[in-house]
């Protein structure tokens, strides 16, 4: 993930892009990129939590 992100995303994207429609698309793309980075970063913990949840549900039945 990038370390030097601008503090005000709206101002940054507005200076780079020309239309509001493009701004929405870029923000959505940025969100998906960051979200996927987090999923990759924490995939082992997510997998462990899902396994524990599945085991507890099976043992409760």
pLDDT digits (tens, 9 = 90+) for 17-51: 657 777 788 788 889 999 999 999 999 999 999 99
pLDDT of residue 38: 94
pLDDT of residue 49: 94
pLDDT of residue 46: 93
DSSP string, 9-53: HHHHHHHH-S-HHHHHHHHHHHHHHHHHHHHHHTHHHHHHHHHHH
pLDDT of residue 4: 65
pLDDT of residue 14: 66
Whether residue 1 is predicted with pLDDT greater than 70 in this model: the reply is no
């Amino acid at each position: 993930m990038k370390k030097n992100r601008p503090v005000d995303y709206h101002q940054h994207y507005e200076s780079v892009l020309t239309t509001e429609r493009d701004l929405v698309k870029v923000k959505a793309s940025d969100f998906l990129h960051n979200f996927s980075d987090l999923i990759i970063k924490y995939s082992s913990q997510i997998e462990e939590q899902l396994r524990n949840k599945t085991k507890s549900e099976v043992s409760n039945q």
